[in-house]
A and B are shown apart, each in its own frame.
Chain A
């Protein structure tokens, strides 16, 4: 692995960790917010339920992963 790719792999692990679905969900929610705001529609209400929903799903994945032997979803 080159130093550049090692740097990006380290940065990814540092910020995103082992739950890329949550990161993708945050990006999607921000995209929806930007699209609504761009169309001059109130957009502030998108993020709170999206973030709470993403956190709940992430917790559920971690808990159900721990109940399956050999699966370690959380470092």
Chain B
């Protein structure tokens, strides 16, 4: 397990699990073009962050950078207290194992593997397990995320909702400390949205049924409404700027003109 050093000393809050300090993020798929600038962000253990922004506002780049998959063009990124630019080889792999990443829209499952094989892959790879040895950890996830009947289907044979749940199961199989979800509710029915929100609440508190400890959650979304009563900390990406909105208690959408467009009932 990676442990960082608290350079500030004293009995204050423990070292953030993720820090972006004065970071300029890449834009879209480019690794050279600048997107959001001056991101100043600390994610602590137990946080439940909701980052809202329009499409192409830089939400995916923010998550990828925070997870250590992209380097910020400018500024500093720390994972578990360690400067990510100094992490290589085993240390970088260890850091990535502690972060579960759920991409948008059920994408990025390996198309030649079944859902069960996709979910088992990180566990089997990192712990050198056979499929039979991985099954006791994979089967509860398949059942818990309602994927049991689809376990032997390939991603191309199932719908978007199932792919999205398979991505979540794959992210959870290594029991990460931090779970990052990129726009997880997009394209889901109201019932599925409710299922996801309830499950994420349970994951934030610790999911007894799946045997998972409390997790730090970071979620991006284009719609703030479902998250108002769920998230604990909020931030906004708008016009290439990073805006910290505060926690649920201090968040006052009615008085925040930045947020009105993310709260309209009929914006679609």
Partners in one complex: no
A residues with CB within 8 A of B: none
B residues with CB within 8 A of A: none
